[in-house]
Structure 1
Amino acid sequence: MTTELQRRKLEKVFASYDADGDGVVDGLDITAMAQIWCDTYGVEPYSPGWRRIHGAAARMWRGMRGSDGPDGEKRVTVAEWVAWADKPEFPEFVTNAAVPFSLAVFDVADADRDGRINHAEMFAAQSKSGMRSEETQRIFDRLDTDRDGYLTSEEYGRAAHEFYLSADPDAPGNVIAGEL
């Protein structure tokens, strides 16, 4: 059963998927979201980073559960998204599609390609969503579980997994998409 915390996290990430803000996620929203990440980090169209982000987004979209809209195209409502979290296949989707998408974005955020990101690299993306530097710093500090001033891809992947699946109110990953 989805907890209140999980519902709030799922609704928050759904809003980020719903690029046009119409309350329904469709394939165009996912493509737009992928492009927003590419634009945020200055990823050139058709470059390896662009292909990785768009490919991961396409895999994520194919893996999402939804229903047919009036035009026969798959659509996902927030109610369907939250309800799906209770299904046994949702953790598999998280592991095989949602977390890999997050890690594809992590890879392009890692500007110096050292396998880790610092606060400035994380803030570049979070500021696009209106997050202030102070909030980003609090989130970064919570995700930086070894307190070395960097997030590794392992820390980030674990946090993304916690975001989607953990019911633990103290899990660091709860804040990966911003404070709830």
Structure 2
Amino acid sequence: MLSELQITKLERFFYVLDFDRNGIIEKEDFIGIAENLCILWRIREGEEKYEEIQKRFEDGWNHFNLFVNNNDGKANWDHWIHFAEEVIVNGDEEIFTQYVDEFVGEIFDNFDADNDGYINLDEYIDLLVGYRIEVRFAAKSFRKLDRNHDDLISRGELIRAVKEFFRSDDPDAAGNWLFGRAVLSD
């Protein structure tokens, strides 16, 4: 059974993915995120990079839809919370690890702009802006996720944060800061 904190975090992530805020996660939400990033990065429709970003987010949708295993191509709150509880929070460790690895891989594919294998503060802010997450707490969130304080988030640090975000019931876990302001912070 999910704790109150876990439900709150899963709700936060649901609304991160529900880009148009209509209560349903669908392909159009992933395309909206891609379009938002193209605007942020000043990439115009018709450019090769634009098409590449659109394709990456369509692929992201396909992976998400495959994991949620929803045949109608839409995930409402009930679909999401059932999937999250059964697969992400309480599911098989191997499937969870695959989900986390793919999720972290997509973040690096999309936001490691300089391809150095790390997410720096500017790239993290792009992630927040791209997903329309309030950036007011970006610096504090980044510091929490950067556990070794080298001003970079490594793949290992991000994997740990994602695992904590989804599975930890500790209100002080650094992973609670993954999507900006901590879930239960002041």
How far off its partner does 1:64 sit?
Answer: 0.7
> Which residue number corresponds to residue 28 of structure 2?
28
Change in Cα spacing, 1:55 to 1:39, as seen in structure 2 (3 Å) is: farther
Aligned mates of 2:129, 2:28 — CA distance in 1: 23
Equivalent residue of 1:86, what SS? helix
1:62-73 matched pairs, under 5 angstroms = 62-66=66-70, 73=72
The one-letter code matched in structure 2 to 1:18 is: D
Identity among equivalent positions (%) equals 27
What is the number of equivalent residue pairs in this alignment? 172
Which residue of the other structure, out of 129, 132, 136, is the alignment partner of 2:135? 132
Which residue of the other structure, out of 106, 109, 126, is the alignment partner of 1:107? 109
Contact 2:27/2:61 (8 A) holds in 1: no
> Which residue number corresponds to residue 154 of structure 1?
156
**Does 1:173 pair with 2:175?**
yes
> Which residue number corresponds to residue 6 of structure 1?
6
Change in Cα spacing, 1:77 to 1:161, as seen in structure 2 (3 Å) is: same
Aligned mates of 1:94, 1:34 — CA distance in 2: 25
**Does 1:85 pair with 2:84?**
yes
TM-score, reference length from structure 2: 0.76
Q: How far does the alpha carbon of each residue in 1:8-30 deviate from its partner, in whole angstroms, 9 at most, with x for none? A: 11111111221222112233333
Gaps of 5+ in 2: 44-48
Aligned mates of 2:100, 2:32 — CA distance in 1: 16
The one-letter code matched in structure 2 to 1:28 is: E
How far off its partner does 1:5 sit?
Answer: 0.9
Gaps of 5+ in 1: none
Q: How far does the alpha carbon of each residue in 1:111-154 deviate from its partner, in whole angstroms, 9 at most, with x for none? A: 22111121122112323525234x10110000001111110122
> Which residue number corresponds to residue 45 of structure 1?
50
Aligned mates of 2:116, 2:126 — CA distance in 1: 17
CA-atom RMSD in angstroms: 2.6
TM-score, reference length from structure 1: 0.79
**Does 1:56 pair with 2:60?**
yes
